[in-house]
Amino acid sequence: MASANPCYGLMKSWEVIMAKMRLLKWVLSVSVVFLFLIDGSSSSFTPPDDYSISCGASQNITFQSRSFVPDSQHSSLTLKTGNSLVASSKSGVPSPIYQSARIFTSKASYKFKIKQQGRHWVRLYFCPLPSSGHDLTSASLSVVADDFVLLNNFTFRKYSDAHMFKEYAINATSDTLTLTFIPSNGSEAFVNAIEVVSMPTYLFADQAFGLHPPSPVSGLSELAFETVYRLNIGGPLVTAQNDTLGRTWVNDLNYLHVNSSVLNVSVNPSSIKYPQAQGVTPETAPNWVYATADVMGDANVPNTNFNITWVFSVDPSFSYFVRVHFCDIMSKSLNSLVFNLYINSDLASGSVDLSTLTGNLNVPYYRDFVSGASADSNTLTVSVGPDNMADTRNATMNGLEIMKISNKLKSFDKNASVESLLPSSPSKIGKIGIIVGSVIGAVAALALLGLCYCCFVGRKAKPAQQGHSWLPLPLYGNSQTMTKVSTTSQKSGTASCISLASSNLGRFFSFQEILDATNKFDEKLLLGVGGFGRVYKGTLEDGTNVAVKRGNPRSEQGLAEFRTEIEMLSKLRHRHLVSLIGYCDERSEMILVYEYMANGPLRSHLYGTDLPPLSWKQRLEICIGAARGLHYLHTGAAQSIIHRDVKTTNILLDENFVAKVADFGLSKTGPALDQTHVSTAVKGSFGYLDPEYFRRQQLTDKSDVYSFGVVLMEVLCTRPALNPVLPREQVNIAEWAMTWQKKGMLDQIMDQNLVGKVNPASLKKFGETAEKCLAEHGVDRPSMGDVLWNLEYALQLQETSSALMEPEDNSTNHITGIQLTSLEPLDNSVSRIEGGISGKDDDIEDGATSTVFSQIVNPRGR
């Protein structure tokens, strides 16, 4: 922010521009919503490329209400073959689509003209027609699509079924897509029908969440997928007629693990509400899929603790793309269903709360993962089970897709690559040359295109957000306008000034700088993994240590929270808040660069590590620091900010053990100033969650106060907020510590290291403060300012060992003279709360605190 001053004049005009942009943005978003309403209601997706080909047929064949055109009659299709024959048969054929075939005695290719590049369905139909005059059952064929091997030496002799249907999702990267059929030596190849059909670009994102290790997997769009399982869970077969993308969804019963006790539930498909703004559309999956589900059979019976598990046989040498579809059609009210999703034995998503994710019942939602087979087996399992913390012990799933991902050889066969099947193929080398050439040639153009894309296409892509959630940062709203301004300003040569100072997002880092700083995201530098992504230690060129937070792709906390965090943090400067240094949004990355906190999270100094125990004074100072940070968030900034995820891992310590509050990814501005943001659903961490917030969805700064009360107890007792292995009454620290506090015996459960070292009056004050924070109702909890005062008082008691005797010198670096003089009246005002005070008194008291606090907060805040 050093460059702020020379830009002052520019900032004024920037504000004018911003005001105009906001208006424009509003107009745009209104019209966009309008466009999509029309879009969504009148027509579904129309594929730009749409080939349905019946090979070797002499006339159109109708199959699943689609017309398959003979390959000889299709104009934008060429067939290159040395020698081909035609076969047809109407008897003994499972369905009309298989009644003709083209047979190749040597290598042959179909070339499809592609109007719009991107992922296409490639569907192949095979049936060894009995009366063809050839022994097609023992024919051995290989199939290649562009540079991917789809099938290698496949033969019906080893296949259990009389016909075969294969579906692939392949990225067409040029203006043709070539399917090559290769007979093995002396044998024949054949095919009965082919589909090559565009799919919506948002259907598959480039990234998904990988489970081994748990981290984002990117680059998926360069890989090919083969559909291996697609289930309509708890529902009937849905065929291509009922799916706008021509997919087939089968019932799940055959895959259910024997021990899974399930019930199927269903609703009228027309009651499924697609969320227009979130990229889940009827193309994601038809409403027939979301309208049925499996739920737990013996749900809500005490001691019933099981998962619903589906088991799939897979080839362990491949990775699989797993898409799980959910839609809460079972609940009667919001927020009653919270469950866990497992893939193999990995927790893929803990505490899935569909109400929170979708905002309503009957709203579809999905998540994508990449996983291998479960350890040492040929199976992949997907399970859902109840979450321990949920009121309702139940779980649900509506649909499941499992797709094999092409391997390093670009193949669906363990060993065969295109080079091995088509050794003379020059396409590969030629293509690489072209790619390299165009990459070098087009970098500048791409950069420009990227900007245009952000400004214009990004707008269009809005409904595709879920599929696209890894788009570069400047996608909507302010950052979009910022992009525009910085492009123009680059011409005038003041780019860095404007884009940094006025966008206020801190320093921009190039991806290369980030790579250098983190030694290419060296796992040895990993500091932690959170909901947002992974955090690495980095060192900038000038030697400054930083913490580099790299966002997960498609984590549900994705883009929106990245932006929230970047915007909030850049506005907030305070000694007790972790500062944002800069960010990187190059290459679709979402990277934040923070000041490095040498002593890490508070939690690691409390338990679970070998670090030396903190003294009582240190603990009090840390709690006071964190309370100051939170108090500043609640009252010091222009808008009241509720942190929403206060916990001991979000309180970080610098090299001098100064506490700073971190992670505003979940933050929201307070209700009074930003009405639209308040209706957001419950987020936060179990164990810290304000029970009132959870029940009533009402977000206030008192929710943070509750969580902070949990932190206080954790600091005193050095145990996790929730510890499920303990006896029931001890699991939740808030409940457990409160029972001891009410007896006045907190010393019985406090950290053994503190015994004999804590002044009893200080402990009493601390315990009372925590107790008030943990009050059941928000109105009964003190403000963060009161908490701060009480903690400072507790520190004073510890320091002086006798309260309010005489003004001590400020050996405690946070406390200055003014505070000591005002300490007694303020403390009394808190005691009045204990006697139960009216809302009126509350106001007076709040007013008193904030005046006093403005003196403390402002000199440090900016």
Query: Interface residues with ligand NAG (CB under 6 A)?
Result: 234-236, 238-239, 241-242, 251, 253, 264, 288, 305-307, 342, 345, 383, 385
* Side-chain half-sphere CA neighbours of 138 within 13 A: 6
Give least dist CB 241 to ligand NAG, A.
5
Give least dist CB 294 to ligand NAG, A.
8
Q: Which is nearer to ligand NAG, 353 or 751 (CB)?
A: 353
Give least dist CB 290 to ligand NAG, A.
12
Q: Measured between alpha carbons, how far is residue 557 from residues 101, 532, 553 in Å? A: 50, 6, 9
Give least dist CB 728 to ligand NAG, A.
17
Q: Which is nearer to ligand NAG, 279 or 385 (CB)?
A: 385
- The rounded radius of gyration (Å) of the Cα atoms in the chain is 31
Q: Which is nearer to ligand NAG, 148 or 288 (CB)?
A: 288
> How far is the C-alpha of 140 from the C-alpha of 156, rounded, in Å?
8
Q: Measured between alpha carbons, how far is residue 269 from residues 39, 116, 293, 330, 453 in Å? A: 20, 32, 12, 14, 36
Check if 645 is active-site: yes
Give least dist CB 384 to ligand NAG, A.
8
Give least dist CB 400 to ligand NAG, A.
14
Q: Which is nearer to ligand NAG, 85 or 250 (CB)?
A: 250
Give least dist CB 50 to ligand NAG, A.
19
Give least dist CB 339 to ligand NAG, A.
10
Q: DSSP E strands: which ranges in 199-345?
A: 208-211, 214-217, 225-232, 250-251, 262-266, 292-296, 308-313, 319-327, 339-343
Give least dist CB 322 to ligand NAG, A.
14
> How far is the C-alpha of 49 from the C-alpha of 122, rounded, in Å?
11
Q: Which is nearer to ligand NAG, 307 or 503 (CB)?
A: 307
For residue 9, what are the contacts with CB-CB under 8 A and spacing of at least 6?
none
For residue 333, what are the contacts with CB-CB under 8 A and spacing of at least 6?
none
> How far is the C-alpha of 834 from the C-alpha of 811, rounded, in Å?
31
> How far is the C-alpha of 155 from the C-alpha of 227, rounded, in Å?
19
Q: Which is nearer to ligand NAG, 95 or 305 (CB)?
A: 305
Scan for tokens 């009252």, then name that residue. 635
Give least dist CB 379 to ligand NAG, A.
12
Name the active-site residue from 147, 294, 645, 704. 645
Query: Among 679, 698, 695, which Cα is nearest to 334's?
Result: 695
* Burial state string for 365-379 with b = 16 or more CB within 10 A and e = fewer than 16: bbbbbbbbbbeeeee
Residue-by-residue DSSP string for 678-704: TT----S-TTTS-HHHHHH----HHHH
- Cβ atoms 348, 314 nearer than 8 A: no
> How far is the C-alpha of 569 from the C-alpha of 555, rounded, in Å?
20
> How far is the C-alpha of 572 from the C-alpha of 575, rounded, in Å?
10
Residue 564 burial (CB count, 10 A) = 18
Q: Which is nearer to ligand NAG, 239 or 244 (CB)?
A: 239
Q: Which is nearer to ligand NAG, 307 or 829 (CB)?
A: 307
Q: Which is nearer to ligand NAG, 384 or 682 (CB)?
A: 384
Query: Among 592, 553, 255, 514, which Cα is nearest to 401's?
Result: 255
Q: Which is nearer to ligand NAG, 345 or 828 (CB)?
A: 345
Q: Which long-range contacts (CB under 8 A, 24 or more apart) does 512-517 make?
A: 513/540, 513/541, 513/584, 514/538, 514/548, 514/584, 514/589, 514/591, 514/593, 516/541, 517/541, 517/546, 517/548
Q: Which is nearer to ligand NAG, 100 or 260 (CB)?
A: 260
Give least dist CB 287 to ligand NAG, A.
10
Query: Among 556, 563, 553, which Cα is nearest to 476's?
Result: 563
Q: Which is nearer to ligand NAG, 251 or 697 (CB)?
A: 251
- Cβ atoms 278, 344 nearer than 8 A: no
Phi (first) and psi of residue 795, to 5 degrees: -65, -40
Residue-by-residue DSSP string for 477-489: HHHHHHHHHHHHH
* Three-state secondary structure string covering 13-59: HHHHHHHHHHHHHHHHHHHHHHHHHHHHHHCCCCCCCEEEEECCCCC
Give least dist CB 791 to ligand NAG, A.
40
* Burial state string for 776-814 with b = 16 or more CB within 10 A and e = fewer than 16: eebebbbbbbbbbbbbbbbbbbbbbeebeeeeeeeebeb
- Length of the chain counted residue by residue: 862
Residue 59 burial (CB count, 10 A) = 10
Report the largest interatomic distance among the alpha carbons of the chain, rounded to a whole angstrom.
Answer: 109
Q: Annotated active-site positions, please?
A: 645
